[in-house]
A and B are shown apart, each in its own frame.
Chain A
Amino acid sequence: MTALHGWVPARIHEEGGRLRVDWCHLGGQRFTDPFFDETLERRLRHPFAMLFRHQTSMEDLVARQASQPGLPVRGLVFHMSRCGSTLVAQLLAALPRHIVLSEAGPVDTVLRAHQRLPGLTDAQRIDWLRAVVGALGQQRHPDERAVFLKLDAWHVLELPLLQRAFPGVPWMFLYRDPVEVMASHQNHRGAHMLPGLLPPEHLGLAAQQLEGIPLDEYGARVLAAICEAGLRGYQSRQAPARLVDHRQLQREGVPLLTELFGVELSGDDGARLRDVLERNAKNPVLPFEDDTAEKARRVSPLARELAERWCRPVHDALEAARLEGHAAP
């Protein structure tokens, strides 16, 4: 397995009831793009990376983790989608000592593996998750010291499992005014906003309740379920945790990283972070623009009403819990 130095699990897929791991040679390329897949796709433009990929079993990956555990995970970023989590990931990735896995496909595959492999235990998913993160979090540059996971929005539904997998690791849950989030999805709907990705029971719904449900209502209920999971997780937190409103990020984003994740700033770190704050996180060639008013103006009356009905109560509960203070558990 030492031959896999510089290789990372790019994708995990199911084959005959077992998971197989596709490895891509990433060499020295850091995960600096807004999303994991973008870094991967960039690398796969080189014919070597596309043509020559190792494939192993999940068991091999787990065995590798025992001897090469990877750098420690220092923070988890959960979010309701379209609320600034990519900015947080980009701030963390701006510092060369961090490996930031932003919505990494292999992490998602393992977290949802029980949907494809009936009978899979939580303990097994935890082992696989640690192995995947360990392999993605191998030190490939001498400066690298820590790993951060920016998860997919729906992964907060698995917060208890993630806390068991990474005990004591601080985490945040980011949220935003639900009308603005609905407005963003109205333009370009996220995968979790379409029926099919998430099992209805994860959303507190019976399958028959989904029949004929309008897309916007489905989306609003998904957002509500995600926020409820974030709130529940915060109320029963096992590690330092913060609820973070989107509006805080521009001014308080950097102090948040130092206070919650223990990120220590030195040298030109401050300049690197300011540079990130001045850009559009998802498309860093563009400057940052506050689109709050634009989103509120553009949202359809129906989406606004659904956001108010399904998401406002939990949004307000998140705000209340946040404002109550950030006392450590």
Chain B
Amino acid sequence: MGLEAFERFRQRVLEDTALQESLRDTPDTATFLARAVALGAEHGCHFTAEDVQEALRAARRAWRERWI
């Protein structure tokens, strides 16, 4: 559920440079996670910080695998 919501949010972010800027301008992962969750909720995409971390782990895995 949360991961699907994050996926919707991801698509939205990729189309919205203002959202991108808000998320890029984060000094550390904790701030990034909090801001992603808050911005997601503002846009009707409800997910948790753990969902974002799960998506992050999956992205890292996919990045490494594609390299091989």
- Residues of A participating in the B interface, judged by any CB pair closer than 8 Å: 3, 11, 13, 22, 25, 27, 44, 46-48, 50-54
Q: CB-CB < 8 A to A27: which residues of B?
A: 24
Using A11-B66, A13-B66, A47-B32 as known contacts, say yes or no to A52 and B56 having CB atoms under 8 A apart: no
| A295 to B: closest C-beta gap in Å | 30
Cβ A47 vs Cβ B29 within 8 A: yes
Cα–Cα, bound, A53→B59 (Å)? 10
Q: CB-CB < 8 A to B66: which residues of A?
A: 11, 13, 22
Residue B1 at the chain A interface, CB threshold 8 Å: no
Using A11-B66, A13-B66, A54-B14 as known contacts, say yes or no to A48 and B23 having CB atoms under 8 A apart: yes
Q: CB-CB < 8 A to B32: which residues of A?
A: 46-48
Q: CB-CB < 8 A to A11: which residues of B?
A: 66-67
Cβ B52 vs Cβ A51 within 8 A: yes
Using A47-B29, A47-B56 as known contacts, say yes or no to A52 and B63 having CB atoms under 8 A apart: no
Cα–Cα, bound, A58→B29 (Å)? 32
Cβ A44 vs Cβ B29 within 8 A: no
Cα–Cα, bound, A22→B14 (Å)? 13
Task: Tell me what chain A mostly uses at the interface: helix, strand, loop, or mixed.
Answer: mixed
- Residues of B participating in the A interface, judged by any CB pair closer than 8 Å: 10, 13-15, 17, 20, 23-24, 26, 29, 32-33, 52, 55-56, 59-60, 63, 66-67
| B21 to A: closest C-beta gap in Å | 10
Cα–Cα, bound, A46→B33 (Å)? 11
Q: CB-CB < 8 A to B14: which residues of A?
A: 52, 54
Cα–Cα, bound, A11→B62 (Å)? 12
Q: CB-CB < 8 A to B52: which residues of A?
A: 47, 51
Q: Which residue on A lies nearest to B11, using beta carbons?
A: A52
Cα–Cα, bound, A54→B15 (Å)? 10
| A191 to B: closest C-beta gap in Å | 12
Cβ B20 vs Cβ A51 within 8 A: no
Cβ A50 vs Cβ B20 within 8 A: no
Cβ A44 vs Cβ B24 within 8 A: no
Contact of B63 among A25, A48, A50 (CB under 8 A): A50
- The contact sample of 29 A-B pairs, CB cut-off 8 A, is A3-B17, A11-B67, A13-B66, A22-B66, A25-B20, A25-B24, A27-B24, A44-B63, A46-B24, A46-B26, A46-B32, A47-B32, A47-B33, A47-B52, A48-B20, A48-B23, A48-B24, A48-B26, A48-B32, A50-B56, A50-B60, A50-B63, A51-B52, A51-B55, A51-B59, A52-B13, A52-B23, A53-B59, A54-B14
Cα–Cα, bound, A226→B29 (Å)? 45
Q: Which residue on A lies nearest to B57, using beta carbons?
A: A50
Given contacts A50-B63, A51-B52, 14 further A-B contacts (CB under 8 A): A11-B67, A13-B66, A25-B24, A44-B63, A47-B33, A47-B56, A48-B24, A50-B56, A50-B59, A50-B60, A51-B56, A52-B14, A52-B20, A52-B23
Cα–Cα, bound, A44→B55 (Å)? 14
Q: Report the 8 A-B pairs with minimum CB-CB distance, sorted nearest first.
A: A47-B32, A48-B24, A48-B23, A50-B59, A51-B59, A47-B29, A52-B13, A47-B56
Q: CB-CB < 8 A to B23: which residues of A?
A: 48, 52
Q: CB-CB < 8 A to A46: which residues of B?
A: 24, 26, 32
Q: Which of B14, B26, B66 has the most CB of A within 10 A?
A: B14
Q: CB-CB < 8 A to B26: which residues of A?
A: 46-48
Q: CB-CB < 8 A to A50: which residues of B?
A: 56, 59-60, 63
Q: Which of A11, A51, A53 has the most CB of B within 10 A?
A: A51
Cα–Cα, bound, A53→B33 (Å)? 17
Cα–Cα, bound, A46→B60 (Å)? 11
